[in-house]
Structure 1
Amino acid sequence: MAARGGKTEPPDQVQQNQLLCERVRKELRCQRLYTQYSVNPLHRVHTITKKPMSWHDNIEEPADDKFLNIFHQAALEPTKKYAEPQTESQEIGWNTTPLIPVDRTDRRLYFPRRRSEITK
Structure 2
Amino acid sequence: MADRSSDRGPPDALQNRFHSERANKERQWQLVFTKYTVNPLQPVHMVARKPMSWHENVHEPTDDEFLNLLHRAVLVPRKKYSEPQTESQEIGWNTTPLVPLDRTDRRFYFPRRITEITIHGYPAPRGEKS
2:20 — aligned with what?
A: 22
Amino acid in the other structure paired with 2:50? K
Instruction: Using the TM superposition, give the Cα deviation of residue 8 of structure 1 relative to its aligned residue in structure 2, in angstroms.
Output: 4.9
Query: Deviations 1:12-38 (Å, cap 9, x if unpaired)?
Result: 7xx6xx67x938x53644544322222
What is the rounded CA distance, in whole Å, between the counterparts of 1:72 and 1:79 in structure 2? 14
Aligned partner of 1:4 in structure 2 is none
Quick one: percent identity of the two aligned structures? 54
Q: Across the two proteins, how many residue pairs are aligned to each other?
A: 108
- 1:19-78 deviation per Cα after TM superposition (whole angstroms, max 9, x unaligned): 7x938x536445443222222211212112221211111111121111111111011111
Does residue 76 of structure 2 align to residue 77 of structure 1?
Answer: yes
Match of 1:3 in 2: none
5 Å matches for 1:98-113?
98-104=97-103, 106-108=104-106, 109-113=108-112
Match of 1:78, as an amino acid? P
Cα distance between partner residues in 1 of 2:83 and 2:30: 37
**Runs of at least 4 residues of structure 1 off by over 4 A?**
none
Question: 2:83 is matched by which residue type in structure 1?
Answer: E
Amino acid across the alignment from 1:54: S
The answer on 1:68 being equivalent to 2:67 is yes
Equivalence for 1:41:
40
Structure 2 portions without partners, runs of 5+: 1-5, 125-130
Distance across 1 between alignment mates of 2:91 and 2:27: 48
Aligned equivalent of 2:128: none
- Structure 1 residue identity aligned to 2:53: S
Which residue does 1:89 correspond to in 2? 88
- Which shifted more, 107-116 or 53-62? 107-116
Paired AA for residue 85 in structure 1: P
Name the CA shift for 1:52/1:8 in 2 (closer, same or farther; >3 Å). Answer: same
TM-score (norm 2): 0.64
